Each structure stands twice: as C-alpha cells, then as structure tokens.
C-alpha cells in the first residue's frame, strides 16, 4: 500500500475499532459495504465537507478504507479482505449491529 494506506502488518485492531466507533464513520462503512466503491461526495451524512475530510482520513489511516483519485474525485472502498485477515468476523459483526443516531 501507499504511505496514505497502511499495509496489513501496520494495521491494529485498536485503531480499526476507534475508527468504527464514531457514528458518522460507521455510517460511511455501512454505505460502502452496501454499495461498494463510492465517490466520497456521494455519501451524505449531513456533516460539513471539512468534518468529512477528517473522517475520511481516520478511516483511511486506520486501514478500514482505501481511497483512489480519479480526476478531481476521491473514491473510497472498504478493505474487507484486510479487515477480515486482521480480525475475522469483526466487520460482519459491526455491520450486523443495530444502527445508531447520527445526530450525536
């Protein structure tokens, strides 16, 4: 992977759990799980673009997602294989859990 994306050996369960622990980031992960690779601007959480930039970075740096640039658009996808290798069943358990309120 690149400097922006940790490889599997650099990923840790504590960073992944911290990234998944915020309701907005969890909503992003649920969207990616349901729809696959998605243009970042198409994921509407109601948060400001500057706030979302921080969430995208946390997801990317923890190893939960990968991003690629196509022109001026950033596309995001889940790193499901790496997450399953790091902690089998974690992502499926998180995705199966009841959804929370994004207004926090």
Cα–Cα distance measured from residue 38 to residue 74, given in angstroms and rounded to the nearest whole number: 9
Domain range list for the chain? 16-94
The pair of structure tokens assigned to 59 is: 């997801």
pTM tops 0.85: yes
Nearest to 28 by CA among 60, 6, 3: 60
- Does position 104 have pLDDT exceeding 50, yes or no? no
Written out in words, the top-level CATH class of the domain with range 16-94 is mainly alpha
What mean pLDDT is reported for the chain? 91
The 10s digit of each residue's pLDDT in 31-53 is 999 999 999 989 988 999 999 99
Task: Quick: pLDDT tens for 55-81.
Answer: 999 999 999 999 999 999 999 999 999
């Amino acid at each position: 992977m690149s400097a922006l994306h940790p490889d599997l050996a650099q990923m840790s369960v504590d960073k992944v759990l911290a990234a998944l622990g915020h309701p907005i980031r969890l909503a992003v992960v649920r969207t990616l799980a349901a729809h696959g690779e998605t243009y970042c601007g198409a994921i509407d959480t109601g948060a400001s673009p500057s706030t979302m930039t921080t969430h995208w970075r946390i997801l990317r740096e923890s190893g939960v997602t990968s991003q690629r640039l196509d022109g001026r658009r950033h596309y995001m996808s889940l790193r499901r294989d790496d997450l399953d290798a790091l902690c089998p069943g974690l992502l499926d358990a998180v995705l199966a859990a009841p959804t929370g309120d994004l207004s926090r």
